[in-house]
Structure 1
Amino acid sequence: MRNLVIILAAILMTSCGEKTPEKKPILKFANANISSNDSVHLTDFEDNYYNLDQILAAHKGKVVYLDIWASWCGPCRAMMPYSEKLQEKYKDKDVTFVFISIDQDPGKWERSARNFDLIENSFLARNYPQAKLFQDNNVSSIPRYMLFDKNGRLIDDNARRPSDKDLETTIDGFLTI
Structure 2
Amino acid sequence: MMRLLIDWLLAWLPLPHTRCFGLRRVLLRRAGISLGDRVWVCGGCRVYGRGELSIGAGTWLSPDTKFHTRRGAAITIGAGCDIGPDCLILTGSHEIGERGARAGQTTTSAVVIGDGCWIGARSTILPGVSIGAGSVIAAGSVVTSDVAENTLVGGVPARLIRALD
- The interval holding the TM-score normalised by the smaller chain is under 0.3
User: Larger strand proportion, structure 1 or 2?
Assistant: 2
User: Larger helix proportion, structure 1 or 2?
Assistant: 1
Task: Tell which has more relative contact order, 1 or 2 (C-alpha 8 A, sep 6+).
Answer: 1
